[in-house]
Structure 1
Amino acid sequence: MTDTLAPSYDPKQFETRLYEEWERSGVFKPRGEGEPYTILLPPPNVTGTLHMGHAFQHTLQDALIRYHRMRGFDALWQMGSDHAGIATEMVVARNLSRDGLTRDDLGRDGFIEKVWEWKQHSGDTIERQMRRLGTSGDWTRSVFTMDPMAADAVVEAFVRLHEQDLVYRGQRLVNWDPVLKTAISDLEVVNEEEDGFLWSISYPLSDGSGDLIVATTRPETMLGDTAVMVHPQDERYVHLIGKTVTLPLTGRQIPVIADDYVDREFGTGVVKVTPAHDFNDYQVGQRHGLPLINIFTHAAAVNGNAPEKYRGLDRFDARKAVLADLESEGRLVETKPHKLQVPRGDRTGQVIEPYLTDQWFVKMDGLAKRGLELVEKGEVKLVPANWINTYRHWMENIQDWCISRQLWWGHRIPAWYDDDGRIYVGRNEAEVRAKHGLGHDVALSQDSDVLETWFSSQLWPFSTMGWPNQQLMEERGFDRYVPSSVLVTGFDIIFFWVARMIMATDHFTGRVPFKDVYIHGLVRDAHGQKMSKSKGNVLDPLDLIDGISLDDLVAKRTGGLMQPKMAEKIEKATRKEFPEGIPAFGADALRFTIAALATHGRDIKFDLGRAEGYKNFCNKLWNATRFVLMNTEGFEIPSPSGRRWREATDEGSENSNASTSPHPHPNPSPEGRGAPSPKTDAERWILAQLAKTTREVEQHFAAYRFDLLTQALYEFAWNDFCDWFVELAKPALNGDITTDEGRAAADSTRHTLLYVLERLLSLLHPLIPFVTEELWQQVAPKLGISETTIMLRPYPQAGDFATQDYAAAEADVEWLKAMVTALRKIRSELNVAPSKTVPLLLADCSPVDRARVARFDSQLRFLTRLDRIDVLADAGAAPAAATTLVGELKLLVPLAGLVDLDAERTRLDKELKRVDGEIGKCHGKLASETFVANAPAAVVEQERKRLADWNLQREALATQRAKLQ
């Protein structure tokens, strides 16, 4: 640790150094004693890099862990990363393509070997970046979802679910990416509004009695239609229900059916039904027993179920061919522009196809019922509580979960097939053969699919704790750390992950996975737009921490964009927004900004201006610490017996109460480390403010109100301590130390400065760990504190501070602050030089005010540069003066000798003339009937307010001018 404090705040000089010291010391590890407090890190993708969503989430988790660690809890932040099946396969496949290879060239085993090679060399990037943010998790316990321990849990879960008849294989409609050639989850589908067309097609009734006009946005899928549908109460079509139409281009006859799903007001009120290529149509088909005709291959080309002329065509080429043929047959009735929601894969950008295929599914009804019950009974608490409505809606309308993926990288499904297609599920092939009596003469082949990553992620609360291996569960503390204390996550994965963890953990362990779920919003740019590479508005947390030049920022934002026009647009916008690039704010400023923005709303608008402001806050804290250190140089705190602190602690006084072990006894009392016995009202006031702030901090941490937490700490640190107490301490520090009273006040003030600063740094540490540690290292030795890091200090608690007798001092100091503020404002308005002393006259002075004036005479003189303070017997006899009020007390600063009275009269006359002109303009507008009648009501009201404001200004100016007659 550093021995001297640098003259200026520069986070680059200490942030990396401090983190390396923390990690090397082992302080991030749980100590195994005290009440457990556990957080599960939502495992980021192994392919990923730190983005603003990660930075937001990890900052809040780190703040909670550091807070509880300092409170003496057995704090465990369980680290880990997700194998990210699709993303990882794409990365490795892209790397292979540079060498002219594909995964098929290597074969499954060879490809998997390449993936592990990539993981070893490049897969821990995000963990290195998390360290830069200050993440204080136990890296020694980090789990990768493909590690043997986690993999065993996945196999065990699948086998048990299958044995319980909760896992099955069947043919159903799924989201299909025709580029990746795999099913994907809803979370991996991005629905965006795009320009398209609505085509109206004439379907002839088979009996020749007319036509039905059907509107569709996907005419190529008509080749797989198995019905047309109308509303059962639509009078236009009731008589046609049960008849058939002849499907154009195919000659197939399909029925006219009735279903409440149809919107009679949309289009013609007749819709086509394609159960194999539309999720809603699939449900209709199930209700009516319609056949499912799949017309596409895995690559979204037309297959053999369609007329021969279309076979082999890509789906969009098939669309063109179908439309051309419909038009030539006179069946294309209308084509009109239409806005539609287009589902695209978030990895490939390709239009997702609802596709009928054989997949593995989990039955969800019973699991969901139990998962909802656990939340409604309060065993799992959602914060904010309103999210329970969203959770309930999804759980009550849940569908069976497709868990298989057509990939090679991931947890391979533990199922085997014989030559006749019979399925055997087991933990391994040997178990399957033994269980089913299959000799080695029976050929078995393992299912080539893997489980989707959400399947393994749902087991995270207990797979990281060694389940189902009893020995590992004991070693990793399953009984101690399950359930965890809180899960911090975004609302976008409540269904995909949070709900599934609740269901899975209860089902397999009989426990809930976590007690609280703090649900935060999503980070957007300053304008509320989603951050995306295509929009060019992505902010990299590391760029905010360390800074980035404009040219490098432009290169980062435009790199890899295929469209030159888009790149040019993004470059232009970036150069306009960041003409000098992004300055280095440091990790602490970024973290404080994130916490300040963590409201309970759905969206978080990230504004760089806030980061700049909080960097200034860190700088303010730095400068205030330098002031305290300079004014306590050589100062030693007396022990309760009167000896100096170091003398007492050197003899092993119990007052030191410090442990040299990495994990001291939980919450040693900070009072035993030299709590001050204040001698001045300013000290009593700051100690009372410290106690109030500490109470607020406790409440805000408990309620996960990080925004209110930062506000309370900011106001106390900046206003109460750095501004006011530093100022109010100066009279005592610079007073007469030749007297016992003056010397006692000075020593007591130094003690209180150190004590409050140390407690303030501790309060702030969970949010801004680096700067608080660096400053604390300089302050702690002066208080006789022997812990090696601020992380091992007891966190301040309101009960630590005995301030019940400080109410009078608080009121007096608030009065003193109001006096100082008022007098400084007068000096500023009169442009009085800082070195010049002025007289102060007081009128309407109550006995309480007189007593306070006498009590704070020296402080008022020192802080506002007064040469004397006189109380007027007759306020009417006061000379020309600048005046203000503090309560009912009138403060007057005579103008004679401070300003040129003739010049002041001239200035006031000129200002009165200007204000009269503005008043005249307002009167003119408001006197105009045309203006009042035609202008918006808000504009008229604004003009009336302007008139009232100008009148107030004129009254004040006139009063001041009258005194200069």
Structure 2
Amino acid sequence: MPQELAKTYDPAAIEERWAKRWVDDDLWRQPSPADADTARDAFTMLLPPPNVTGRLHMGHMLNQTEMDILARWNRMRGRTTLWVPGTDHAGIATQMMVERQLVSEKTSRQELGRERFVERVWQWREEYGGAILDQMKRLGASVDWSREYFTMDAGLSTAVREAFVRLHEQGLIYRGKYIVNWDPVQQTAVSDLEVVHEDRLGKLYHVRYPLADGTGSVVIATTRPETMLGDTAVAVNPQDARYAALIGKMLKLPLTDREIAIVADDWANPEFGTGAVKVTPAHDPNDFAIGERHGLQQLTIMDAEAHIDLPGSPYHGLDRYVARTRIVEDLEAAGLLVEIKDHAMSIGLSQRTGAVIEPRLSTQWFLKVEKLAEKAIAAVETGLNGEPPAIKFTPEQYRKTYMEWMRNIHDWCISRQLWWGHRIPAWHCGACAQITVARETPGACAHCGSDRLEQETDVLDTWFSSGLLPFTVFGWPEKTADLAAFYPTQLLVTGFDILFFWVARMVMFGCWFMGQEPIVEGGISHERTLAESVPFREVYIHALVRDAERQKMSKTKGNVLDPIEVVKQYGTDAVRFTLAAMASPGTDIAFSEARTEGYRAFANKIWNAARFIFMNVERAAEAGVTVDLTALATAPVADADPGFLETQWITARLAQTAAAVDAALGQYRYDDAANLVYQFFWGELCDWYLEIVKLRLQWTVDADAVAARAALQTLVATFEASLRLLSPFMPFLTEELWHAVYDGAPPAKSIALCAYPSGSADGAEVCAQMSDVQELITSVRALRKELGVPEKETVPVQVRASEHAAESLRAARAIVERMARVSAIAFVAAPLLGTGVRSTTAFDVQVVYEKQIDVAAERERLERELAKLEKEQSGAEAKLGNESFLAKAPAPVIDGIRRRAAEVSELLAKTRSGLEALASKQQ
């Protein structure tokens, strides 16, 4: 007998209990399969690691909901399923967090020193760093918690060092000077991807640079006049006739005692400003390139905090913007400021600190990416003869975005001037000034043997270590069973915002490193193909979660929704279902709490359905009838009772829905999948099947005991299978009800470890029969309302139907009589006239209620209906006769028009017949 359920569905009463139990039971643990075939069929995903500083937001919850649905669905379909969780050490963000703490304590990392500061960060991580994973546990993410990683773990740190050393040995990592994006607040280089561009109204300053020989001057235009202190040339276009005679001459650099040359360079744009541009090689990437071409001096004029660093200069020590104001005033005083114009410009801001980026010449570590990018491009390109690429993108548009970026990629600056992170395994020799790169701390310089070694102070870009994760989490560089079983992973679900930060770099590293790792099968070793080297076979880019007005959520707008707070109000299942029901590839989600409230009602509907079923199981038990619960959880779907239409129909619809859900999830159509389950559970199971089956759930002495027993068995079996159908979407509710079905003694620890209902397209005929019955009931209900029939009063109806439809309707007479409150059904051959008539392609039905036929009104109604149908028929014929439309319209659209045209043709014939019968009656 099922467990007794509370009268009211309360998600708070069940969710925390099940979330804890799933973790305590280590329910999602997935050992490495010993069987090679099982390993090849494994479904493996890597959670995009949230920052250790993070807290769950709606974007995280969408990502994790989608991943969890897929993990649970694949697990229930029998696939070896592994979802690996972890967190990223987030170098810049975490260091900022801890430094703020130190400021509040009136100290700093410099006062602590590097070793004590790093210890302090580890302490912070132990205390606060697991918050977002704890939130994931509360929300029921079915990850393998035994494999939880942190990107600074000892094993992963060893792998990062190995990767760096290998790349260095292969000549792909080098150290050199280059212009980097410098964050003056964090005092570190940041990548192009970590720079956010913002449109602002700035100024364009026109400044006169006098010729050294006194014969004239050149006017340049600049948006950053403070950088003129580092100018080492002025460039003009060699095709610009205005300056042809000045090329090679010297200019006096204003406000300094230096002279600089005029050089000819194609970079100078004659259409911008005055056509003459100042060249500051140490503070602009384009100027750096000009300087390289012309052998110009690289003069750094700012320090790490963006203060002028020119001892002896009147501007020394000034903040860059204070210096700008002072320089502009001095230029004006010297008569060298020609004019200042408003100028729209794009300003680069540090994504982490919001500071304006200062391009700065800096000695950094770089990774040559050309060879890695070649493999990463090949992995996404369509193969010869139209063969599918090794990595598929959904939506397809992101493949094009990825390819454009990869084909224009530059060497990657992988060093950061931080203390928290993977310290670069390179040691500088104090004797010979050479660098030793090594896997282990060296005792002596590899070049001169000196023991005067100092380790590089920089750490690696956080994305370097996270780019290695698809193979390092499985034990690389060791040849582990996990690596053999679970690499490549099958799917990556992530957001567009880290397509280049993370996705592209994982592809580069995966193809490069794993392409060099042979595969050993049956004692035979062979080189990996590109398809075997990629980190994942598919990338699904999910949409953004916006507010109900489709505005992007931001703290500034005050429209940010905390998913934990929404969960407290409506329950995890309702929030998950909202996100799933609105998640369509390539379409952003306008999150609406009204929708969530509706899905909370959906969960309540299921709860009440369970209570109704359990009540009938108890009544049956009192009459000596029990339900056989054996094999329910492993059965594809409930076995249909062949004697009754409704049981054949609900079984067919369950199988059809399961097949449709399988197809939708296979294409990442979460919205279609969720809506299919919703329509089946609410519309077909609860609103129709439960109401119909009440006819047979009778336990009185004179009831048909055999029919009642069969109905109850099918009802329980169908409900149990329906819970399995819903389980990936609403795991908490279904877990609670499933255990209740089995009275606390289920055949498995969790519904999520049972078989997903098998899908089938069979049952079209029985579904068509049931559709006629449903349409008849719906028509009679509508007619009763139109005629004002009192709710409790039964009425007779007349039905004129085709022979095939009449057979189905006769067989379902009892269902129609109960559900439409019909006292008797008469099947007639003559057209039905008068009030209370409705027509479909399968039948005409009339509710016989004491009202006289108003011939004129009936003729008017039929004529209106005729005109409407003729117009519809004309429109359909026009479309189907239009060759251009037929060539362009999708096949399903054309098929739909043809089907509707056939229906309209039948309805036209019926309407004309009705008018003829009315005319003969009037005569």
Task: Report the Cα distance in structure 2 between the residues aligned to 1:868 and 1:210, rounded to whole angstroms.
Answer: 110
User: What does residue 616 of structure 1 align with?
Assistant: 601
C-alpha separation between the residues in 2 aligned to 1:637 and 1:188? 69
**Equivalences for 1:506-585 in 2 at 5 Å?**
506-510=511-515, 511-546=533-568, 584-585=569-570
SS in 2 for 1:455: helix
Question: 1:787 matched to which residue of 2?
Answer: 748
Percent identity over paired residues: 45
The yes-or-no answer on 1:391 pairing with 2:402 is yes
Per the TM alignment, residue 585 of structure 1 is displaced from its structure 2 partner at its CA by 1.6
Question: Residue 126 of structure 1: SS of its match in structure 2?
Answer: helix
Q: What is the alpha-carbon distance in structure 2 between the residues aligned to residue 28 and residue 402 of structure 1?
A: 39
Q: Pick from 331, 338, 346 the counterpart of residue 333 of structure 1.
A: 338
- In structure 1, the partner of 2:286 is 280
Matched, 1:447 2:456: yes
What is the CA–CA distance in structure 1 between the aligned matches of 2:177 and 2:272, rounded to whole Å?
Answer: 31
What's the counterpart of residue 760 of structure 1? 722
User: Which position in structure 2 is the counterpart of 1:249?
Assistant: 255
In 2, Cα distance between equivalents of 1:731 and 1:249: 98
User: Which residue in the other structure is 2:895 paired with?
Assistant: none
The residue that corresponds to 2:30 in the other structure is 30
Q: Equivalences for 1:721-760 in 2 at 5 Å? A: 721-733=685-697, 738=702, 742-760=704-722
Aligned residue for 1:61, secondary structure, equals helix
Shift in Å, 1:765: 1.3
Give, as a single letter, the amino acid of the residue that structure 1 aligns with 2:823.
Answer: D
CA distance in 1, matches of 2:48, 2:402: 19
Q: Which amino acid aligns with 1:520?
A: H
Alignment correspondent of 2:682: 718
Q: Would you say the 8 A contact 2:739–2:746 is kept in 1?
A: no
CA contact (8 A) 2:543 2:585 kept: yes
Moved more, 224-233 or 587-596: 224-233
1:625 is matched with which residue? 610
Query: What is residue 425 of structure 1 aligned with on the other side?
Result: 437
Q: Say whether the 8 Å CA contact 1:194–1:339 is kept in structure 2.
A: yes
Supply the AA of the counterpart residue of 2:607. W
Deviations 1:536-555 (A, max 9, x none): 22211101111xxxxxxxxx
What TM-score results when the alignment is normalised by the length of structure 1? 0.81
Q: Tell me what 1:587 maps to.
A: 572
Rate the CA distance shift 1:274–1:729 in 2: closer, same or farther, 3 A: farther
Deviations 1:156-193 (A, max 9, x none): 11111111111111111111111111112233322222
Match of 1:316 among 312, 318, 321: 321
1:415–1:774 CA distance, 2 compared to 1 (3 A): same
Q: CA 1:12–1:248 in 2, change beyond 3 Å: closer, same or farther?
A: same
> How far off is 1:614 after superposition?
2.0
User: For the Cα contact (< 8 Å) 1:231–1:260, is it kept in 2?
Assistant: yes
Report how far residue 309 of structure 1 moved: 1.4
Equivalent position SS for 2:410: coil
How many residues of Structure 1 are paired with residues of Structure 2 in the alignment? 833
Matched, 1:91 2:48: no
| In structure 1, distance between residues paired with 2:659 and 2:837 | 39
* 1: CA distance, partners of 2:2 / 2:804: 49
Separation of aligned partners in 1, 2:2 and 2:802: 53
In 1: Cα distance, 2:209 partner to 2:730 partner? 68
Q: Deviations over 1:900-925 (max 9, x none)?
A: x9xxx9xx99xx9xxxxxxxxxxxxx
Matched, 1:890 2:852: no
Provide the rounded CA distance (Å) in 1 between the counterparts of 2:76 and 2:662: 13
Distance verdict in 2 for CA 1:277–1:825, change over 3 Å: farther
- Report how far residue 637 of structure 1 moved: 15
Provide the C-alpha distance between the structure 2 equivalents of 1:256 and 1:780, rounded to a whole number of angstroms.
Answer: 88
CA distance in 2, matches of 1:522, 1:235: 52
Aligned mates of 2:768, 2:701 — CA distance in 1: 27
The letter for the 2-side match of 1:89 is: Q
Q: Which residue in the other structure is 2:797 paired with?
A: 840
Per-residue CA shift, 1:233-265, capped at 9, x if unaligned? 455555555555443323544444455545554
Deviation at 1:490, TM superposition (A): 1.2
Q: How does 1:431-510 map to 2 (within 5 A)?
A: 433=444, 435-436=446-447, 438=449, 442-470=451-479, 473-474=480-481, 477-510=482-515
Name 1:568's counterpart in structure 2. Answer: none
Provide the C-alpha distance between the structure 1 equivalents of 2:294 and 2:685, rounded to a whole number of angstroms. Answer: 74
Any residues of structure 2 matched to 1:130-149 within 5 Å, and which? 130-149=136-155
Per-residue deviation, residues 638-693 of structure 1 (Å, max 9, x unmatched) = 9xxx99765xx8xxxxx6498xxxxxxxxx5546xx63434211121222211221
The amino acid across from 1:203 in the alignment is: Y
Where does the alignment leave 5 or more consecutive residues of structure 2 unmatched? 384-388, 516-532, 865-910
Aligned to 1:856: 812
What residue in structure 2 maps to residue 926 of structure 1? none
Distance 2:280 2:302 in 1: 12
Report the 3-state secondary structure (helix = DSSP H, G, I; strand = E; otherwise coil) of the residue aligned with 1:409: coil
Superposed CA offset, 1:616-654 (max 9, x none)? 22222222222322233354899xxx99765xx8xxxxx
Amino acid in the other structure paired with 2:24: R
Give the partner amino acid of 1:385: E
What SS class does the counterpart of residue 817 from structure 1 fall into? helix
- Hey, what does 2:875 align to over in structure 1? none
Contact kept in structure 1, 2:619 and 2:699, CA below 8 Å: no
Change (3 A) 1:669 1:242: farther
Amino acid aligned to 2:757: P
* Residue matched to 1:46: 52
Give me the whole-angstrom Cα distance separating, in 2, the residues matched to 1:833 and 1:304: 95
Deviation string for 1:323-376 (max 9, x for gaps)?
112222333333233332222223222111111111111111111111111222
Deviation at 1:856, TM superposition (A): 2.1
Aligned equivalents of 2:367 and 2:135: distance in 1?
36
Of the three residues 115, 119, 132, the one matched with 1:126 is: 132
Aligned partners of 1:4 and 1:444: how far apart in 2?
Answer: 73
Stretch moving more, 333-342 or 460-469 = 333-342
Q: Secondary structure in 2 aligned to 1:412? A: coil
**Which is worse superposed, 204-213 or 624-633?**
204-213
Q: Deviations over 1:8-58 (max 9, x none)?
A: 221101000011111122211014444422111111111111111211111
The SS at the match of 1:272 is strand
* 2: CA distance, partners of 1:217 / 1:898: 88
Call closer, same or farther: CA 1:201–1:676 in 2, change over 3 Å: same
d(CA) in 2 for partners of 1:266 and 1:528?
39
- Return 169-178 or 721-730, whichever deviates more: 721-730
Aligned counterpart for 1:110 among listed residues 116, 123, 135: 116
- Specify which of 69, 75, 86 is matched with residue 80 of structure 1: 86
The answer as to whether partners of 1:679 and 1:744 remain within 8 angstroms in 2 is no
Mapped to 2, the partners of 1:723 and 1:213 lie a distance apart of 81
Cα distance in 2 for partners of 1:220, 1:387 equals 41
Q: Distance in 1 between matches of 2:601 and 2:419?
A: 51
Q: CA deviation at 1:780?
A: 4.2
CA distance in 1, matches of 2:684, 2:586: 29
Match of 1:563 in 2: none
Please say if 1:817 is aligned against 2:774.
Answer: yes
> Shift of the alpha carbon at 1:522?
2.8
Cα distance change of structure 1 residues 51 and 637 upon mapping to structure 2, 3 Å threshold: farther
Judging changes above 3 Å, is the alpha-carbon distance between structure 1 residues 612 and 255 closer, same or farther for their aligned structure 2 residues?
A: farther
Native 8 Å contact 1:31 1:74 kept in 2: no
**Aligned equivalent of 1:696, options 660, 680, 685:** 660
